[in-house]
């Protein structure tokens, strides 16, 4: 099976899953297939119980085992099996270990390797550096796709240095929220200023709508950037790819990884950025509901994200 075929099959058995979640399951299923020595996802289920796969799976880090076991459990249903074939036990065990690790609030090996010297504040330094590199575009109204993409790299780091969303920045629409649409909107109100209305995100089913008032530094960046986006694109979203179309979540992730690796010496994605912010405000994090709401997760998860020294 190729990715499109796997997506459609997964979609049929994962009826309450978001498109984003299904994409994650399929991507991790391909990772499992690669561990099993396969180029594609086989059409029959036998490969999921191969000794070669199990041997390599057990050598993966805890967080990876957890994600892969979730995908495997979903895949068993996709293949029409009522039993998880042992993957359910792997999932339960890895989830238990994962929760214990998070409750301890110790940095993982991956986090230690990528933790920047100044923590979350390192992103502000990167934003300042990138801003100097696009000074020629800040006052320019008409931009080519290449120029807009270059300017946007600074904007992305500036956004994450203030508001550490997941990859949801790629799905933000530049319009006033409607009453019925379950989408994410960014709009500048006459008195309130820039407000981000989040309706479709990972924990939206449990949290409902979340409204985030943009910080002053972010508002200044948006007031400069959004008019340029509207004047030079037609897709209606905040972020743009190098060809002038809507930027995907995968595209946003790649930009974050490339920029942080270049300027901080370590590939830092949205997940670690969220941990960095929670850790910076860890003293407040134990009681700060506002930050938990902005990060769009529970107070418990907020505390787990903040790491001890």
pLDDT interval class at 111 (50, 70, 90): confident
Predicted local distance difference test score (pLDDT) of residue 128:
97
**Tally: H helices and E strands in the chain:** 15, 4
d(CA 185, CA 198): 7
Q: pLDDT tens for residues 67-98?
A: 999 999 999 999 998 888 789 888 888 888 87
**pLDDT at position 208:** 86
Q: pLDDT tens digits, residue range 135-173?
A: 999 999 999 999 999 999 999 999 999 999 999 999 999
What global pTM score does this model have? 0.69
Give the relative orientation of helices 62-78 and 19-35 as an angle to the nearest 10 degrees.
Answer: 100
In percent, the amount of the chain with pLDDT more than 70 equals 90
Decide if 195 contacts 187 (C-beta within 8 A).
yes
pLDDT tens per residue across span 269-305:
999 999 899 888 876 645 556 666 677 655 556 555 5
In the structure, what pLDDT confidence band is assigned to residue 227 with cuts at 50, 70 and 90?
Answer: very high
The pLDDT of residue 248: 95
DSSP 105: T
Q: Predicted confidence band at 120 (pLDDT cuts at 50, 70, 90)?
A: very high
Confidence of residue 308 (pLDDT cuts 50, 70, 90): low
* Residue from 172, 134, 125 nearest 153 by CA: 134
Mean pLDDT over 221-247 rounds to 97
């Amino acid at each position: 099976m190729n990715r499109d075929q796997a997506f459609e099959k997964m979609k049929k058995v994962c009826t309450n899953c978001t498109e984003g979640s299904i994409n994650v399951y399929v991507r991790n299923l391909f990772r499992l297939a690669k561990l099993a020595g396969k180029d594609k996802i086989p059409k029959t289920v036998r490969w999921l119980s191969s000794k070669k796969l199990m041997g390599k799976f057990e050598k993966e880090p805890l967080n990876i085992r957890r994600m892969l076991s979730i995908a495997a459990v979903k895949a068993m249903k996709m293949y029409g099996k009522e039993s998880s074939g042992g993957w359910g036990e792997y999932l339960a065990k890895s989830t238990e270990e994962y929760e214990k690790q998070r409750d301890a609030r110790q940095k993982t090996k991956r986090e230690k390797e990528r933790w920047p010297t100044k923590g979350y504040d390192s992103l502000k330094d990167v934003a300042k550096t990138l801003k100097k590199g696009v000074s020629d575009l800040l006052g320019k109204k008409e931009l080519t796709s290449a120029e807009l993409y270059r300017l946007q790299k600074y904007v992305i780091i500036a956004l994450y240095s203030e508001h550490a969303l997941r990859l949801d920045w790629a799905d933000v629409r530049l319009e006033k929220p409607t009453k019925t649409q379950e989408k994410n909107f960014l709009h500048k109100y006459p008195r309130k200023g820039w407000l981000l209305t989040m309706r479709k995100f990972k924990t939206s089913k449990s949290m409902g709508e979340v409204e985030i008032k943009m910080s002053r530094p972010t508002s200044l960046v948006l007031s400069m950037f959004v008019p340029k986006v509207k004047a030079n694109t037609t897709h209606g979203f905040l972020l743009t790819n190098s060809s002038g179309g809507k930027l995907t979540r995968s595209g946003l992730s790649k930009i974050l990884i490339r920029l942080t690796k270049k300027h901080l010496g370590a590939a830092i994605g949205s997940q670690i950025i969220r941990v960095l912010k929670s850790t910076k405000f860890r003293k407040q994090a134990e009681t700060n509901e506002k930050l938990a709401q902005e990060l769009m997760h529970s107070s418990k998860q907020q505390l787990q994200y903040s790491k001890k020294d």
